[in-house]
Structure 1
Amino acid sequence: MKSVVLFDLDGVLLDSRRAVLNTLAGVATAALGRRITVADLPPEAVTTPRVEVLSALGVAEPDDLCENWWDVALATAADTRLFPGVLEGLMALKEAGAATGLVTLQTRSRLPWLLPPAGLELLDTTVCREDAEPKPAPDGIFLALARLAVATPNAVFVGDTLTDRAAAREAGVAFAGAGWGYAGADTLAAADCPVILTDPAEIGPGLLGLVPARHSATR
């Protein structure tokens, strides 16, 4: 039976920390009429909902401002790349016969300029912000599995935040924490995350060992 490995995007496959922080600073600068730099942002800005960060800086109506300005600011600030080893890991999963997918808070229109074509081509499905209720709701994971016709016992979700872990738990799928991501390995460990990867090079067929149905099938 086919297995699938689903991934969060930012902080897991994609190193977009600098782009996100620059975008937050740019939107805040435009809204407040004074220069806001990355140094002015709170340390946890990259793992905090953007509207909360902007509100804390004194930005009024951050939802509306993000709707109008976020994409332009992100496109201007975009300095993103796949983490080393991600492309090779996705290729190895495909060669092993597994499906791959993305469950992200990014909008679909951003994916072509955030991800290289080679990365997009290795993803069998992409669930974006407009497709399902955002994490920690499990809806995006359920939608990805439905599109791929894969049952929850045959799935693994790789994320880098406690929100990702909560979504995986609610969906009933195995979870692996990306210790190189935005929350960090210590935060994941403090929350008793059962599996924490330490390097993007660990993305690959080894993740299929976390699928309970696969364990049963090989006994």
Structure 2
Amino acid sequence: MIKAVIFDMDGTIVDTLDDLTDAVNYMLGLHNMPLRSKIEIKSFVGDGIPKLIERSLPSIPSDKELEKYTEEMLNYYIPHSMDKTAPYDGIIELLKELKNRNILTAVVTNKEETAAKKIVNEMFLNLFDVVVGARENLPSKPAPDGVNLALAELSITDKNEAVYIGDSDVDAKTAFNAELSFIAALWGFRDKDVLEKAGATVFASVPADVLNIIA
């Protein structure tokens, strides 16, 4: 019996692509670097902000440069993280039904935790029990540490009682590394073939499908 559902954030519960693109291009513009399209940014997301920045740059940066560019991007992104971002259709209804069934919910994301909690507090008030984002000394996904931390905070000790939902190959690997069942969200940033190659075998075309899968 499923007692907890853990969600990825970007591409799973919210479409953040426009705001991420704007923030990356703001940083690139500061340095007169070529701007990136939404399609390019979509292909770059999934491994956290520093990796997104690194992939967006025209050349490989030094560690110091990457730290500077990441800080500049975040200084713009955090106050603008909800300018265009919105929940995917059906997500709020899914979360409310999970609550009605007394199923615990969490977010585990590679997004900076400050930005992640801001989005959850503004768009999903009282719909998530735990939010785990990028923080110091916590390995990023696909390492299982964030998922394991969320499970501990939810007091879930039997991993057969939890499932992880995400839209990317990184999410699939995260679930498998955490020894959780994985549901691939087909409404997100990655195509089905990418998810299949990562080992996904269970797919949700729309959020409501999740209820049937975990029943």
TM over 0.5: yes
Instruction: Give the TM bin, normalised by the shorter chain.
Output: 0.7 to 0.9
Q: For residues 1-219 of structure 1, what are the structure 2 equivalents within 5 Å?
A: 3-30=3-30, 32-34=31-33, 36-38=35-37, 41=40, 44-47=43-46, 49-56=51-58, 61-73=65-77, 75-76=79-80, 78-111=83-116, 113-115=118-120, 117=122, 119-130=124-135, 132-151=138-157, 152-203=159-210, 205-209=211-215
Task: Name whichever of 96-105 and 70-79 sits farther off.
Answer: 70-79
In structure 1, stretches of 5+ residues that fail to align are 210-219
Judged with a 3 Å threshold, the aligned counterparts in structure 2 of structure 1 residues 121 and 71 are, in CA distance, closer, same or farther, namely farther
Judged with a 3 Å threshold, the aligned counterparts in structure 2 of structure 1 residues 74 and 58 are, in CA distance, closer, same or farther, namely farther
Residues of 1 paired with 2:75 and 2:58: CA distance?
21
Give the residue type in structure 2 aligned to 1:140: G
Larger radius of gyration: 1
Residues of 2 paired with 1:40 and 1:173: CA distance?
30
Cα deviation digits, residues 88-115 of structure 1 (max 9, x gap) = 1001011111100010122232235434
Cα deviation digits, residues 37-81 of structure 1 (max 9, x gap) = 527947623346313213345666123221243232453363100
With normalisation by structure 2, the TM-score equals 0.84
Is the partner of 1:122 in helix, strand or coil?
coil
RMSD: 2.5
Superposed displacement of residue 7, structure 1: 0.1
What residue in structure 2 maps to residue 216 of structure 1? none
In structure 2, stretches of 5+ residues that fail to align are none
Superposed displacement of residue 87, structure 1: 0.5
Task: Name whichever of 127-136 and 69-78 sits farther off.
Answer: 69-78
Give the residue type in structure 2 aligned to 1:3: K
| Count of residue correspondences | 207
